[in-house]
Structure 1
């Protein structure tokens, strides 16, 4: 090869390399960036326990800010539970994207959302409550600090441990209030994490789950102005739903004393306010460290809680106050201060995060991607929604109507949620609603078939719906929150 030809060849080769580099850089610049995901998850928080959701009796300034800067789903539900610890199946569904009867409680053999993201290049961090066995936590997270493997605990003595290199270590008892403990762990992670690598941080609070023992500072507002009773407060549930004296329902006696219920609601709000204060610390660090430009923040809870509504205290029922949760997405690309009334499940979060992180949805995931709703491509992902509890209750609802069936006592309730959002007026026996009841029972059976629910809706030997709990006291081995709230009401 002559010197001239060699020189020409080198020039062509150089230009070709520049062209390839330019094309690669252009492709990379056009490739979608992978945002960080910060998932804040509370425990037992009603959907209406946010000031921004038209509740002037609770103080939640940081969560209110997420509402203003994000998109809220106002009809987000836990599908239900196979036992009294509703937290466990709710979290199993959330982390698997699967419906209740198709996911094991220990998540064995199922790919979890953080596990999927870890496999796709994310650093996955976990702290707080994990109610689905230690093995599934180990496979899901790259690292973890102050992980609580269990259902409930004294908030000042939470048994926790850390995950390092795939193994748990440093077992200890937390030396701070639970919300502060978990937020300290999250802040440390955020301060050490390099900006160039995407992260998924799962922060699962144990608040406001009982024992409700809010720090005194969070109770000051409620000491001066106790919240009013729920609009659907009752001294006792009007019939035996099959779970009248379970653990949660035994936190006080019958008939429900309005003063005690009001006090319990105040401490419940106090727990949420304290958690909100701690969440503010995380949001400040996100902004301070420059993560806010590329971080999607999700806030939700595993389900709601009665706290006096319908004469109930717990979450073992299918009324709106117990199965509905707050659900907020906030961050780059998400509309601000907008909301949707679409019927969604918490396990829809799984495929939605896959969409946001450009991660293929694995086989077996049943949830629906919610991002098309805020993008304006659709206004719903389903026309009706099914909830379930043990073998005691089944429910189905659409945009307006809701039917609850109690198979063990052959009882049906029908509510017009548009005109009766508090579910106080059962219309099931109204002659004009006979056809509607039939149609909704048929829809309920369709949902059962769709979700592998084998429970018959009628009993050949129904139990009595009558139960007399007048004068019955709480179980002596149950936590009685009142002593805690009196402590703060009686002190400054």
Structure 2
């Protein structure tokens, strides 16, 4: 009897040893362990604000390394927003997976604790992911109601700084300094908010390294949103004579009032009216400085990931919720349909992602959400309107899932369609139509709408826009406008 017990115990321990070894080998070859996913989200960062993507004035070594180490989508767009806080709509689309008008509808349910199981983090949790969030939230759901772990939850924008508006008036207007902590903003609380978010993220990586289950991190920086504050050494990296005025600069945008981006809009009040080359250069100097400061915080996060041995089995996504004008077309904000305000950087780095590859296919930045679900093994629910781009990144797919890109601002202020290298912009209140040939005019400097030979192109794009708005649940009656304009 004793011998039988000993034999049983021996067999049991042999079984355990074999099982442990098998599990270890399975993890080592990457079969059972799902990939970790890190989502890095900046605010107000145009696709033009990355050195490796063509801006030789800005210093972004970490973002440049993401471009070198992974695949970059050069034409990633936000659809726009239903009010001046474009980031609110962008983030609602990202969390819900719905396009702009349906995201507006469903986001109202979050404050009532409805539809929370349909949000991005909750869907990741169905596949065993430990979810974490820190930074800018600006979504109507409470962050701790849908993430397992939450760091600092920051406001839609840093606390307002009255001294940061309508400036600089001239070279003698020197009251404002980005590094002066007495102005609050990013400095409120004593530590720059980008550094705060970085420290939160590094702390969670340390926690995750001790766990076996995969993790999903949503790391959302407020930078480079205004007030554009950063330590002095970053501003000093950009002497004013090294900062250029954009080619699309103009003192005032002729349609600003009719399109809902006039002198009363908060973003537009940051610089004086009319715009001056000097005020634009100073604003761009401070924009570059806070972006470089952000770049350094991202570097610290990636180094922590590397130091814990987690980089190899982690997909890293970097993008922004929309772009920003900062003096282009006489505008300062993002409430417009030009590429500088709708188009963002988007990089993905991961175990099987090609290095140094650029994909020019048109996508939406919210496709990141669907892509991570794909990687996590979550079957995409029918209500998710965005598409995974993982096959585009890997090169096994070449065509976009979108025939055109749709853009909006407010219920009736602006509409846009981008298709086959043309862009049509409509300001419904004045029935103003603009047309750009993006293949020949990527900076959108020459409006072609008044040329009679383009009437057929305008008519075709307008009809496509009407079809798009029906698909997206757009409440604006474009058909009656079409009859009056075409």
> For the superposition of Structure 1 and Structure 2, which TM-score range results when normalised by the shorter chain?
0.7 to 0.9
Q: Which residue of structure 2 aligns with residue 128 of structure 1?
A: 135
Q: TM-score by structure 1 length?
A: 0.83
What are the Cα deviations for residues 391-431 of structure 1, in whole angstroms up to 9, with x where unaligned? Answer: 11100011311101111001101100011011111111211
SS at match of 2:151: strand
Structure 2 counterpart SS, 1:192: helix
- 1:184: which partner in 2? 199
State the Cα deviation string for residues 177-219 of structure 1 (Å, max 9, x = none): 0100110111111122225221111110011111111211111
Q: Which moved more, 1:103-112 or 1:315-324?
A: 103-112
Q: Does residue 342 in structure 1 map to residue 361 in structure 2?
A: yes
1:223, distance to aligned residue in structure 2 (A): 2.4
Deviation at 1:445, TM superposition (A): 0.3
- Measured against aligned partners, the alpha-carbon deviations of 1:297-338 in whole angstroms (never above 9, x if no partner) come to 110000000100100000011111111111110121111100
1:285 maps to what in 2?
304
Are residues 1:244 and 2:244 paired?
no
Asked if the contact 2:78–2:364 (Cα under 8 Å) also holds between the matched residues in 1, the reply is yes
Distance 2:215 2:433 in 1: 47
Residues 150/55 of structure 1: CA separation in 2 closer, same or farther (3 Å cut): closer
Q: Pick from 406, 412, 416: which aligns with 1:386?
A: 406
Q: Is structure 2 residue 436 aligned with structure 1 residue 415?
A: yes
Q: Is the 8 A contact 1:408 1:459 kept in 2?
A: no
Pick from 196, 201, 207 the counterpart of residue 212 of structure 2.
196
- 1:83-232 alignment runs, 5 A limit: 83-103=83-103, 104-106=106-108, 108=110, 109-110=114-115, 111-133=118-140, 135-153=141-159, 174-193=189-208, 194-223=210-239, 225-232=241-248
**1:159–1:419 CA distance, 2 compared to 1 (3 A):** closer
CA displacement at 1:363 relative to structure 2? 3.2
Counting only pairs closer than 5 Å after superposition, residues 405-484 of structure 1 correspond to structure 2 as 405-457=426-478
1:268 to 246, 265, 287: 287
SS state at 2:236 partner: helix
How many residue pairs match? The answer is 440
Structure 2: 5+ residue runs without aligned partners? 162-180, 482-486
Could you tell me whether the CA contact under 8 Å between 2:240 and 2:285 is conserved in 1?
A: no
Superposed counterparts of 1:18-29, under 5 Å: none
* 1:483 equivalent in structure 2: none
Cα displacement (A) at 1:459: 7.3
Query: Which whole-Å CA distance do the structure 2 matches of 1:205 and 1:118 have between them?
Result: 23
The CA distance in 1 between the partners of 2:30 and 2:37, in whole Å, is 21
- Cα deviation, 1:351-403, whole Å, max 9, x if unaligned, reads 10011112222231000110111222222221211011111110001131110
- Partner Cα separation in structure 1 for residue 267 and residue 393 of structure 2: 37
Instruction: Give the whole-Å Cα distance in 2 for the aligned partners of 1:331 and 1:417.
Output: 31
User: Is 1:39 aligned to 2:29, yes or no?
Assistant: no
Q: Which residue of 2 aligns with 1:355?
A: 374
Whole-angstrom CA distance in 1 between matches of 2:420 and 2:52: 22
Q: Residue 222 of structure 1: SS of its match in structure 2?
A: coil
User: Contact between 2:317 and 2:347, CA under 8 Å: does it hold in 1?
Assistant: yes
The CA distance in 1 between the partners of 2:225 and 2:19, in whole Å, is 55
Deviation at 1:154, TM superposition (A): 5.7
Query: In 2 relative to 1, CA 174–106 (structure 1 residues): closer, same or farther, beyond 3 Å?
Result: farther
Once the two structures are superposed, residues 70-117 of structure 1 have per-residue CA deviations (whole angstroms, 9 ceiling, x without a partner) of: 111111111110000001000000111110111233562332211211
Q: CA deviation at 1:458?
A: 7.0
Q: Secondary structure at the match of 1:314?
A: coil
Answer whether contact 2:319 2:344 (CA < 8 A) is retained. yes
Match of 1:68 in 2: 68
Q: Is the deviation greater in 305-314 or in 241-250?
A: 241-250
Matched, 1:368 2:383: no
Q: Distance between the aligned counterparts of 1:355 and 1:68, measured in 2?
A: 24
TM-score (norm 2): 0.84
Q: 1:286 to 1:154 in 2, by over 3 A?
A: farther
Partner in structure 1 of residue 170 of structure 2: none
Alpha carbons 2:26, 2:32 under 8 Å: kept: no
| Structure-1 separation of matches of 2:306 and 2:240 | 34
Structure 1 portions without partners, runs of 5+: 1-5, 161-172, 461-492
